Structure 1
Amino acid sequence: MISTLHRRTGSARPDEFDRRLLVPMITSSILNPINSSIIAVSLVPIGVAFGAPAAETAWLVSALYLATAIGQPVVGRLIDLHGPRPLYLIGAALTGFAGLLGMLAPALWVLVLARVILGFGTCAGYPASMYLIRSESERTGRDSPAGVLAALAVANQTIAVIGPSLGGLLIHVGGWRATFAVNLPLAAACLIIGWRRIPKTAAPHRGRLSDLDLPGIGLFAAMLITALLFLMNPRVAHWYLPVLAVAAGLVLAWRELRTERPFLDIRLLGGNLPLIATYTRNLLTCVVGYCFLYGFTQWLEAGRGLSAAGAGLILLPMSLTAITVSAITGRRAAIRGKLLVGGAFQVIMTILLLTLHAGAALWLLIAAAVLNGIPQGLNNLANQNALYRQAEPDRIGSSAGLLRTFSYFGAIAAAAAGGAFLSPGSGLAGLHHLAAFMLVAASLCLFLSVIDRSL
């Protein structure tokens, strides 16, 4: 079980959640979403600065996704073995270094390297937060307040909303390099707050390096990299990538079933069907959500002729709705109800997209955004709460990291679907094809929620 954490003078009462932990938890967990969203407005000026086409600057996005998808469960497992404090501080230091490297980068490849380091550096925040919430629950002997999980969800959604706007302001003031420099004060804040407020574990060396399944991690990384590379650019000529991904996955499963301390405990995971269902729902939720974010936005600009600013204003109600829904429902522990309502609204939203025509009224476009905001606020929070209750306590860090990995799989799959259905000149037919794909994913997500009696 997770060890009890040492407390400093002025800490919380033995039967109360230590709310001093909220600030370091939130500060670190927002590092990833702010770097994921702020790059959206930086790609064009970076391309101009280095004379790089869109195909090359796209690696600034993909590099972070790849590093984070691999790093989240790996760092989460390290947190399980060594506690959150050292990984939290190392992650903050890496984030600061990556920000400095990006700010001074002389070439595009250095920026890509900085984004890879950012991906690994920002991996620690979310699994460390879930570890701390679980450890506080064990220390107090009481379930941690539902509002704590809600605070994490609202903070991450809020940052994702303001990220592009903040990026635009930073670029206006200090150029695109300022979007990397912003990590310096954020990392410094995490280092100071984390050092002062995150307590040391009672057993600082709960695990040894030899306890870490390095071959398993290598196979896991190989499986993810080949799968994600194919999803980012699916072509018949790249047929070997999914074959390599499947091969790496099979070897990984074979090895993990035979090692004493596996990185992915397949026996344990295979016996925890509710957790597998949560990962699957999270993947499907992200597929639908990111298809809307990427695909609908692309159609608004290419199909309806809106400017980027105009499309952003259409999407603003979606983000505000998601934040409001999370804030209102966050303190309620219900999981299944959130998933059923959120899944139903995903289905309704995709059906609305199927009915849109080229001259659809503006209020219908805004309505679609609002409808999508409801499941964004409900499903993400419900899946996070479900994982907290379903994961094994000794693997809460790696389990939380794996949840984020499935999120990035969904995001990349959505980007691939958008590229396939919304080709140049596809127009309204492309949007309808994408909406049909989204409807299948949304219906499957709702079906899994209906039949899952463990919730």
Structure 2
Amino acid sequence: MSAARGAQATTPPALPAAATGTHGPAAPVKGTAAPAPDAGTPGFGARLTAPLLIGSLVNPLNTTMISTALVAIGHSYSVGAAGTAWLISVLYLTSAVAQPVLGKLADSVGPRRVFVAGLVVVLVSGLVGAFALSFTWLLVSRLLLGIGSAAAYPASMSILRHEGLRVGRTPPRPVLARLSFAAVGSTAVGPTLGGVLVMLVGWRGIFAVNVPVALIALVTAIRWIPDDRPRARAEDGSRPKTAIDPLGIGLFSTALTLLAFFLLDLAHPQWWLLLPFAVVGAALVRWQLRTATPFIDLRALVSNGPLTRTYLRHGLGYLLVYCVMYGLTQWLEEVRGFSSGETGLLMLPMSVAALACSLLGARTKGIRGPLTLACLLLAAGAVLLGFLSGSSPLVLLLLAGACFGVPQGLIGTSNQAAVAQFSPAESIGSAAGLQRTAQYIGAITASSMIALAYGRAATDAGLHLMAWIAAGLGVLLIVLTLIDRALRTPHAP
């Protein structure tokens, strides 16, 4: 699997053993500045990992934190649910493309440089959003946020690999697990934190909070992350070049943007967009099959069925999760009349369940069992949403949130284990990057479903339409999980 090399968990080409830890420790690299000594795992102490964890939570936190602010933003700028859905999609659209690109840049120019540059862009995005005078500037802020925050995770993994070279050992699994937990945890607490911020300082706090977070990560990164180690030169003395496939990136971005424009107005579909989408998609496939360094290795995807099915399950699973995060929160505010802060508190059971199950899921050795349980709960939660109304008791609302919180934790950890099991050892980073891209595409589709169901405002009928579509997709997800024979193979701990 060489698609989008350099994405999350990027592994430099010379370090396939570091990705798996099966070939012994790599030799230390001289001339690399080490972080100040601190307590914890030798070579991977708190000073090194703290800025990486803070930087890595910005993207997943912002994907869900805005969910409890969409109604307030829409009222401020007289924009309906279909319009505010773009605040969701633009972040995912830019992140889906930027993750693998910035991962490759981290290998090319140095992960520390990419990590720091990304934090600067995040800081700027927070200022643009906090002082935005129009809805267009909010979209610009989210676009910048998607680009800047996408640098953190792949650069963090590359930094840990480089530190492993310096100290002569592979990054410990608990250290890597913290990055995963930071993503799952921040995604889970996002709605609650967003509701509290809107209640205390208004919806602009959703954007402004990124400024101090980025500043803390930036200062600690500059002080504690080692300088980028010099890249080995070729035999002729020239610097090695990293193939980024700009044409593939451009075609992929264009195709995904055209599809997003079509999906976000399914109530009034612009059918003509499907023609340029088909043309660009065909050109993308043709180019990826011909070029030596494709942005997406289609041949590898076709030949590796278990990995491809993992991406499909991951995208569908998060599509259902994000439908609740964005769709249910809008319904709670516009139909039930809860404030943003109250809605955030109502989503707390979902957040707590997701956090707890992400920890439990990381401890399980199997994949099929946790995934099957997650799929069953997703379908059950969707059915429950189909019977909610403006007069439903509070306990049912809390139960609905919990039904989606448990799968959120189990899906993330289980599919991550599946990617590790089914992807080639030498391209684990590329495989992980495509897993995140599948999650982003699921989120874009979720925002499209919400726009179709709600139009300009959330209603009981819109919630029920979204719920029954989600229930059907939940049943499909159950079938895809149960019939996948590859999941019957025990997962190695």
Shorter-normalised TM range: 0.7 to 0.9
SS of 2:485's partner is: coil
C-alpha spacing 1:260/1:330, structure 2 compared with 1 (3 Å)? same
Letter in 2 for 1:39: I
- Structure 2: gaps of 5 or more residues: 1-12, 16-25, 488-493
- Deviation, 1:268, is 2.4
Letter in 2 for 1:449: T
**Counterpart selection for 1:385 from 404, 411, 417:** 417
Q: Deviations over 1:87-146 (max 9, x none)?
A: 21221122123233444545543343232111100001222344456677898676842x
**Counterpart selection for 1:154 from 181, 187, 190:** 181
Letter in 1 for 2:466: L
CA distance in 2, matches of 1:205, 1:93: 30
Q: Please say if residues 67 and 326 of structure 2, whose CA atoms lie closer than 8 Å, have aligned partners that are also in contact.
A: no
Matched, 1:338 2:338: no
**Counterpart selection for 2:228 from 178, 200, 204:** 200
**Which stretch of the first structure deviates more once superposed, 428-437 or 441-450?**
428-437
Matched, 1:326 2:358: yes
Q: How many residues align?
A: 452
- Structure 1: gaps of 5 or more residues: none
CA distance in 1, matches of 2:240, 2:254: 24
CA RMSD of aligned residues (A): 3.7
Residue 401 of structure 1 is matched in structure 2 by 433
CA distance in 1, matches of 2:69, 2:328: 21
- Deviation, 1:414, is 1.7
Matched, 1:238 2:266: no
Q: Please say if residues 264 and 452 of structure 2, whose CA atoms lie closer than 8 Å, have aligned partners that are also in contact.
A: no
CA distance in 2, matches of 1:450, 1:390: 17
Residue 482 of structure 2 is matched in structure 1 by 450
Q: Please say if residues 252 and 284 of structure 2, whose CA atoms lie closer than 8 Å, have aligned partners that are also in contact.
A: yes
Matched, 1:257 2:283: no
Residue 225 of structure 1 is matched in structure 2 by 257
Q: Please say if residues 92 and 187 of structure 1, whose CA atoms lie closer than 8 Å, have aligned partners that are also in contact.
A: yes
CA distance in 1, matches of 2:263, 2:105: 28
**Which stretch of the first structure deviates more once superposed, 184-193 or 425-434?**
425-434
SS of 2:254's partner is: helix
- Deviation, 1:368, is 2.2
Equivalent runs, 1:357-372 vs 2, <5 Å: 360-372=392-404
- Deviation, 1:43, is 5.0
CA distance in 2, matches of 1:205, 1:40: 48
CA distance in 2, matches of 1:296, 1:204: 52
Q: Please say if residues 26 and 155 of structure 1, whose CA atoms lie closer than 8 Å, have aligned partners that are also in contact.
A: yes
Equivalent runs, 1:34-53 vs 2, <5 Å: 34-40=61-67, 42=69, 51-53=77-79
Residue 275 of structure 1 is matched in structure 2 by 307
**Counterpart selection for 2:146 from 85, 98, 119:** 119
C-alpha spacing 1:345/1:171, structure 2 compared with 1 (3 Å)? closer
Matched, 1:31 2:63: no
C-alpha spacing 1:397/1:242, structure 2 compared with 1 (3 Å)? farther
C-alpha spacing 1:236/1:360, structure 2 compared with 1 (3 Å)? closer
**Counterpart selection for 2:122 from 95, 107, 120:** 95
C-alpha spacing 1:45/1:255, structure 2 compared with 1 (3 Å)? same
- Deviation, 1:26, is 1.4
CA distance in 2, matches of 1:204, 1:345: 50
- Deviation, 1:252, is 0.8
SS of 2:290's partner is: coil
C-alpha spacing 1:352/1:117, structure 2 compared with 1 (3 Å)? closer
Higher helix share: 1
CA distance in 2, matches of 1:343, 1:367: 16
Q: What is the percentage of aligned positions where both structures have the same residue?
A: 36
Residue 63 of structure 1 is matched in structure 2 by 90
- Deviation, 1:59, is 4.0
Letter in 2 for 1:109: T
**Counterpart selection for 1:74 from 82, 90, 101:** 101
**TM-score normalised by length of structure 1:** 0.84
Q: Deviations over 1:422-443 (max 9, x none)?
A: 4689965544433332122222
SS of 1:446's partner is: helix
